[in-house]
């Protein structure tokens, strides 16, 4: 009778090794492919949480849209990168509260020169994203804010940046404000 439990234990012990081998294989593959961890959905969720905290600190979506419209009304071209301002004007308070990596705007008089290019004035705010050669790239995450009354006609266009850090998806989060990722 004592042989039966020992045999059952032996026959079941190999089943425990299957999840351990699969887990070890998973971790090995993560080391080989550094873009596999953390997963994109996890990074995006973290980025959205940080965005919501910053939006709340900025005064809400209406304050952000108001300041983007103000920036568009008082400037023809804005290209502000966090570490290099390119003689860009100071950012309005709500936009600065978002801690953007980059803010871009072109007035309508400069838009539409290329056939098929939209004439809708948009303030593009890049919040997160960095291409990394040989390491984990941070996925692109930002906002596009329409600064005129054409909010219902506008849809963001996918961007595949030369650095490999572009965006393919968008979602409207407030009237005239799109989250792009």
At 22-66, the pLDDT tens digits run 888 777 766 655 555 667 677 778 888 999 999 999 999 999 999
Residue segments in the chain with a per-residue pLDDT below the cut of 50: 1-2, 162-163
Q: Please, are residues 150 and 124 in contact by the beta-carbon 8 Å criterion?
A: no
Domain residues of the chain, as ranges? 1-32, 34-180
In this prediction, residue 55 carries a pLDDT of 93
- DSSP secondary structure, 66-126, as one string: HHHHHHHHH-SEEEEETTB-TTPPPPPHHHHHT--SEEEEE-GGGTT-STT-----EEEEE
pTM of the model: 0.69
């Amino acid at each position: 009778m004592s042989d039966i439990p020992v045999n059952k234990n032996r026959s079941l012990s190999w089943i425990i090794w299957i999840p351990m081998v699969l887990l070890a294989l998973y971790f090995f593959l993560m080391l080989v492919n550094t873009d596999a961890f953390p997963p994109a959905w996890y990074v995006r969720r973290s980025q959205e949480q940080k965005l919501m905290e910053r939006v709340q600190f900025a005064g809400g979506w209406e304050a952000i849209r108001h300041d983007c419209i103000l920036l568009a009304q008082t400037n023809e071209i804005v290209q502000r990168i966090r570490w290099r301002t390119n003689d860009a004007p100071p950012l309005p308070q709500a936009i600065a509260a978002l801690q953007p990596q980059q803010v871009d705007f072109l007035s309508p008089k400069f838009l539409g020169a290329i056939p098929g290019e939209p004439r809708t004035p948009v303030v593009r705010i890049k919040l997160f994203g960095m291409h990394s050669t040989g390491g984990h790239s941070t996925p692109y995450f930002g906002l596009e804010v329409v600064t005129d009354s054409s909010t219902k006609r506008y849809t963001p266009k996918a961007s595949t940046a030369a650095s490999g850090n572009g965006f393919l998806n968008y979602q409207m989060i407030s009237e005239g404000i799109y989250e792009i990722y």
